[in-house]
Amino acid sequence: MSRVQTYKEGEAAASQQAESNTGSKVRSERVALLLLSALLAAAAVVIYRLSFAHFQTNKNLQMLKDENEAMRKNLTMLKDENEAMRKNLTEKLSELSSCTSEQLIRPKPAEAKTTGLCRTCELDWDQHGGSCYYFSSYKLTWDQSRSVCKGRGADLVQINSEEEQRFLDDKVGGKMNGFDDLFWIGLTDSEEEGRWLWVDDSPLNTSLSFWYKCEPDNWTGDNAAGEHCVRMGVKGGATDLKCWFDRSCDSHERSICEKAAETERLICV
Ligand SMILES: *[C@@H]1O[C@H](CO)[C@@H](O)[C@H](O)[C@H]1NC(C)=O
Ligand SMILES: *[C@@H]1O[C@H](CO)[C@@H](O)[C@H](O)[C@H]1NC(C)=O
Ligand SMILES: *[C@@H]1O[C@H](CO)[C@@H](O)[C@H](O)[C@H]1NC(C)=O
Ligand SMILES: *[C@@H]1O[C@H](CO)[C@@H](O)[C@H](O)[C@H]1NC(C)=O
Ligand SMILES: [Ca+2]
């Protein structure tokens, strides 16, 4: 009996042992499960973080793309604007270089400054109509004076209109330092007595001549050869524009050079 009992007790103890074994197995399984869940959660967090980062990167990329597109558009716009400005400038330049001498000459110096138009006479030359004029202070013979004018790309002045005579009479009248301080003009009858020719060999138009009173008088008082060249001027200006005098070509006088106002070598102010 006691053996049986002992056996039974042993059995019970064994079963008890088994029971406790099962309990620890369940516990360790739970721990594993917990660990696994923790790992899963961690993985989920990591995945979420990664996908969020990926989303952000995509968003940034899109933004950069948009910005790039905007900049590309701006660049195109700037290019178009630049092209338009270049065209405008080219037009303005061709306008300026093709403007007639009248347009170039009209502005007075003060206007030229504000409009950006160009002066076409050199320094010390006076612009009037389509011409530039130089009023010399040196007194030379008619031939010498003409050479000096030619050396400056001009010739002695040729008077082609009443308007031009008015301008010159006014200028000379203001420059004369005495009643005898006259200026050579490009008119002479040296070639053929009594036939007055301008320096370009064109004959004097009698309705456009401005002889003073009884001139030309071919006076031989100074030079027996007579007077075959013409000088002009009445101090203060002649009221009737008549201020031409014939004079010995060897006499020493001041002079007026004339040349066409330049349209090519523009001097911009
Ligand atoms: C494009 O130009 C406009 C004005 O012209 C400016 O406001 C904008 O910031 C420019 N965009 C870029 C991307 O440069
Ligand atoms: C070009 O000139 C025209 C008129 O001449 C003007 O309307 C236009 O704004 C100018 N363009 C630029 C880019 O200056
Ligand atoms: C002479 O001048 C007058 C007045 O300016 C003009 O009417 C006429 O045509 C000119 N004659 C010649 C031949 O140039
Ligand atoms: C001017 O005077 C010279 C010298 O006396 C003479 O030879 C010439 O014929 C005169 N000319 C005129 C147009 O009277
Ligand atoms: Ca002239």
Confidence band (pLDDT; 50, 70, 90) for 112?
very low
- End-to-end CA distance of the chain: give it in Å, rounded: 141
CATH number of the domain located at residue range(s) 115-268 in this protein:
3.10.100.10
- Give yes or no for a contact between 122 and 264, defined as CB atoms under 8 angstroms apart: no
**pLDDT tens digits, 19-62:** 667 778 888 999 999 999 999 999 999 999 999 999 999 999 99
Q: Ligand 3 center to residue 18 CA distance, Å? A: 148
User: In this predicted structure, what is the pLDDT of residue 16?
Assistant: 65
Number of the ligand 1 atom closest to the C-alpha atom of 73: 1
Rounded CA-CA distance 198/185 in Å is 9
Alpha carbon of 119 to ligand 5 centroid (Å): 19
* Ligand 4 surroundings by CB, under 6 angstroms: 193-194, 218, 220, 225-226
Q: For the chain, give every domain's residue range.
A: 115-268
Name the DSSP letter for residue 206. Answer: G
**Amino acid in the structure at residue 12:** A
CA neighbor of 120 nearest in space, from 110, 136, 140, 106: 106
* Ligand 4 pocket mutation pick from 196, 218, 220, 229 by most atoms within 8 angstroms of CB: 218
Q: Model-level pTM? A: 0.55
Residue 248: name the closest of 141, 155, 146, 176 by CA: 141
Asked if 198 and 229 touch (Cβ cutoff 8 Å), the reply is no
- Whose Cα sits closest to atom 12 in ligand 1? 71
Cβ neighbours of residue 124 closer than 8 Å, sequence gap 6 or more = 134
Q: Give the tens place of pLDDT for each residue, 171-220.
A: 999 999 999 999 999 999 999 999 999 999 999 999 999 999 999 999 98
